């Protein structure tokens, strides 16, 4: 059912379906992958700090390498790879993750993004 909502671009409804399904059965295989993929689509649609949210960077001033240990661009891309994860949201989530990594890992592009979004400049890595 959630996949039908994603196809119709009703991401909130898709997420709600997953929350309801999880509340009925905590052991549904792969539900976290679906939730993560849908959440990435929601972040991008909201246009609120989506680049940092996708890579789980809590502070726009911190280097991308300082992001959460459990999140890597390669890990996210593999998690959302359409051959590994069969969801209508998978390919889009993988593309968004890769594009975000390319944006934030390039110091010049990241600086431009931070200025455009009104964020503080990034702390330079030592």
**Domain extent for 54:** 30-117
* pLDDT score for 1: 76
Per-run averaged pLDDT (10 residues), the chain, 126 residues = 78 86 82 81 73 73 55 62 76 81 84 83 60
- Position 63 scores a pLDDT of 65
Nearest to 100 by CA among 44, 38, 58, 42: 44
Residue 124 lies in a domain: no
pLDDT reported for residue 13: 87
Q: Is residue 7 part of a domain?
A: no
pLDDT the model gives residue 69: 44
Q: How many CA atoms lie within 13 A of 95 on its CB side?
A: 7
The domain that holds 107 is classified in CATH as 1.10.287
Answer whether residue 43 is part of any domain: yes
Determine contact, residues 11/45, Cβ cutoff 8 Å.
yes
Q: Taking phi first (over 0 means left), then psi (-120 to 50 degrees means alpha), and beta for anything else, what does residue 95 get? A: alpha
pTM summary value = 0.63
Element spanning 73, H or E = helix 73-79
pLDDT at position 45, please?
77
């Amino acid at each position: 059912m959630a996949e039908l909502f994603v196809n119709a671009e009703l991401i909130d409804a898709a997420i709600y379906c997953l929350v309801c399904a999880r509340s009925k059965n905590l052991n549904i295989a792969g539900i976290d992958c679906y939730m993560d993929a849908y959440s990435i689509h929601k972040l991008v649609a909201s246009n609120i700090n989506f680049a940092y949210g996708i890579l789980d960077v809590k502070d726009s001033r911190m280097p991308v390498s300082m992001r959460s240990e459990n999140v890597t661009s390669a890990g996210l891309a593999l998690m959302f790879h359409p051959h590994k994860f069969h969801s209508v949201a998978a390919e889009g989530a993988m593309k968004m993750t890769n594009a975000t990594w390319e944006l934030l890992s390039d110091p010049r592009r990241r600086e431009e993004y931070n200025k455009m979004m009104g964020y503080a400049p990034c702390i330079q890595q030592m």
